[in-house]
Amino acid sequence: MIDTHCHLLPGLDDGAHSMDESIAMAEYAVANGITAIVATPHVLTNFNPPRKLREVTVQKLQKKLDQRNIPLRVYCGCEVALRGENFQSLDDTLNLVDSKVILIEPPWQDQGLPMDSILFDLQMRGFKPVIAHPERYEYLSIDVLRRWVERGALLQLTTPGILGHWQGTSAERSRTLLREGLVFLISTDAHGATGRVPALREAVKQAEEWCGISQRALVDENPKKLLGIEA
Ligand SMILES: [Fe+2]
């Protein structure tokens, strides 16, 4: 399985605090059946690690994992906080891996942003927007999310949302989005080796129970196709 949203890199945001914690997260992920992680530190928030730093940190971590024979491939990405008008400053340094895919975190509360036109603008500039944890934003109705998907955006659910670890309706919304076939990816959004850990297996199982058919593509074929990577 491939995790397309994970705060795995040490010391760049509120995810792993140290290289040791990153390695512990990697070990946890591998034990859970994950073979590749796109590392996505927060950017355009209080944290803003530039691409070069993220790439160098991925290389350092990959080297440590290889030395320890931990079979996990790490790729470079980030999670872009959409705030106010900052979408105009988004550029290719923010893409996932070497694709034109950009992982967007909408505001936690409704700020009245013209999200439809922002997503359209990004697409006109060649980006493929992926919406991080849409299940958490109760101000974004299922109808709104469906419209975005119809217009080419992709939805990425997360393990804690699917498993109901957050307050509110995230599990219920996850179930609706999955049953309607609106979801393209499931990710961990893990932040450490304890608490929000890099686990996908249980979430995929829950998704399959809700839908009655395999949801494996959301953590396997879909990320591979989207990002042009091998596990
Ligand atoms: Fe995240």
Q: Report the Cα 208 to chain-centroid distance in Å.
A: 20
116 CA to centre of ligand 1 in angstroms? 22
Residue 200 pLDDT > 90: yes
Distance between Cα 41 and ligand 1 center (Å): 7
Cα of 60 from ligand 1 centre, angstroms: 21
Number of domains in the chain: 1
Output the domain CATH number for residue 147: 3.20.20.140
Give exposure, 114-152, as e/b (b: 16+ Cβ within 10 Å).
ebeebbbebeeeebbbbbbbbbbbeebeeeebeebbeee
CA–CA distance, 112 with 51 (Å, rounded to integer): 30
**For residue 186, what pLDDT is reported?**
98
Report CA Rg, the chain.
Answer: 16
What pLDDT digit, counting tens, does each position of 39-63 carry? 999 999 999 999 999 999 999 999 9
Could you tell me the pLDDT band of residue 87, with boundaries at 50, 70 and 90?
A: confident
CA of 218 relative to ligand 1 center, distance in Å = 17
Calculate how far, in angstroms, residue 188's C-alpha sits from the geometric centre of ligand 1.
Answer: 8
Rounded to the nearest angstrom, the distance between the alpha carbon of 110 and the centre of ligand 1 is 18
pLDDT surpasses 80 at 31: yes
Per 3-state DSSP, the chain is made up of helix, strand and coil in percentages (nearest 5) of 40, 15, 40
Q: Which residue is it, tokens 């399985």?
A: 1
Give the pLDDT confidence score for residue 32 in this predicted structure: 98
Give the domain range for residue 127.
Answer: 2-227
- What is the percent of the chain where pLDDT is above 70? 100
CB of 149 closer than 8 Å to CB of 185: no
Q: Which residues pair with 101 in a beta bridge?
A: 128
User: How remote is the CA of residue 39 from the centroid of ligand 1, in Å?
Assistant: 10
